[in-house]
Amino acid sequence: MEGSDAGPPYNEGRTTPKGGSRQPPNNMTVQIFRDRPLDGLTTFGTRATAEAYAEASSLESLKELLAHAAESGLPVRFLGAGANTVAMSRVPGLVIRIAIKGIEKKPAPDGGTLVRCGAGEIFDDIVKMTVAEGLGGLENLSAVPGTVGGAVVQNIGAYGVELAERLQSVTVWDSKAGEVRELSTEECDFAYRHSILKTPAGEGLVVLSALLHLPARWYPVTGYRDLDAEIAARGLTAVTLTPAALSDAVRAVRSRKLPDPARLGNAGSFFTNPIISKVHWRELLTKHPSLVYYKLGGGRMKLAAAWLIEAAGFKGAVRGNAGVYENHALILVNRGGASGEEVLALAEDIRRRVREMFGVELAMEPVVLG
């Protein structure tokens, strides 16, 4: 089941087990690999090794792995396509890659379409499939890397659409209760790059599948400056702007702005766009008239983190093997052979300087594994 870079399974090669609690799991059907390099399993590609690693391609294998980890006292971490992950040099415990597949489509009672997707499906494959069938709703999320599970946890968003808006429910394994549960979108507590699954309240919940709801009556979501410019440049009109045409436009914009992880390791936006009070925003705008911001409801303002980082002088910065992308200040990159520690050190420098200059706290978007 593994590529050639997988470390040896637990039941081979370990001559001196670390202790009684970590005996090789000879009775297991799922293979667990020890000292497994994770470099190729994250889009950042940081040099990393997991103490133990396994893939769960079904609920049964997930349960088996969780039971083994609990018996062995191994902390568990989950991985999808590693698109929003910074892996540290040494990742203690058991890393479980969720590889649960399956796509099932059926009509929704309101005339729309329901698509159930396994958590391990590549999200962009679902976008491509639905768009190719003329089904609209996901096109603004074209080319967002990662799995369906990761997309749900993170509530991915791009060009005016958040995944939460296209979800009906999320099926999870509740490892504390020992049962499968169907969470409504309200129970998921979705917000900007946020869900309950990222919080202590969501501890022990593992996404098994997502039920997407694509609308019966499609309308294009436009209004994002870069995307509107691309639509205009392509001469698209109300008649020719189909889900497929909009998807192509989104892909073009993204490929111009964001580095291809296959060529330059990265995890997309490294920080979320910070939300501050109107009072704080007014102060900043007086001092920095070119500040980029968006008005939110309730007297809150969202700032473009990229602007703050560029103004702090970090665009194109190089710190050993890590750096800030020269074409977009919000993207930290692996210039080749970077460790997670190097990336986090650079991120910390950026956070400190932005705090000093603007009194704004930047929150990291990717998950740290380690």
Comparing CA positions, the residue from 332, 319, 197 lying closest to residue 271 is 332
Decide: is 268 part of the binding site for ligand EPU (CB under 6 A). Answer: yes
Of 168, 222, 242, 272, which one interacts with ligand EPU (CB under 6 A)? 272
Q: Which residue is nearest to ligand EPU (CB)?
A: 268
- Tokens encoding 240: 């020719």
Report the phi/psi class of residue 13: left, alpha or beta, with left for phi > 0 and alpha for psi in -120 to 50: left
Q: Of the residues 166, 269, 319, 351, which is catalytic?
A: 269
Q: Which residues pair with 302 in a beta bridge?
A: 275, 294
CA gap 191, 210 in Å, rounded: 17
Q: Identify the helix (H) or strand (E) that includes residue 311.
A: helix 305-311
Q: Of the residues 47, 97, 166, 193, which is catalytic?
A: 193
Residue 210 or 306 with smaller CB distance to ligand EPU:
306
What minimum distance in Å lies between the beta carbon of 347 and ligand EPU?
A: 14
What minimum distance in Å lies between the beta carbon of 366 and ligand EPU?
A: 8
- For ligand EPU, the binding residues in 79-118 under the rule CB under 6 A are none
Residue 193 is a catalytic residue: yes
Residue 12 or 260 with smaller CB distance to ligand EPU:
260
CA gap 84, 127 in Å, rounded: 19
Segment contacting ligand EPU by CB under 6 A, of 30-38, 111-119, 162-170, 307-315: 307-315
Q: Identify the helix (H) or strand (E) that includes residue 125.
A: helix 123-132
Residue 269 is a catalytic residue: yes
Using only the alpha carbons of the chain, give its radius of gyration.
22
- For ligand EPU, the binding residues in 143-202 under the rule CB under 6 A are 158-159
Half-sphere exposure of 205 (CA within 13 A, CB side): 23
Active site residues: 193, 269, 365
Residues in contact with ligand EPU by the rule CB under 6 A: 158-159, 226, 257, 268-269, 272-273, 292, 304, 306-307, 310, 315, 328-330, 365
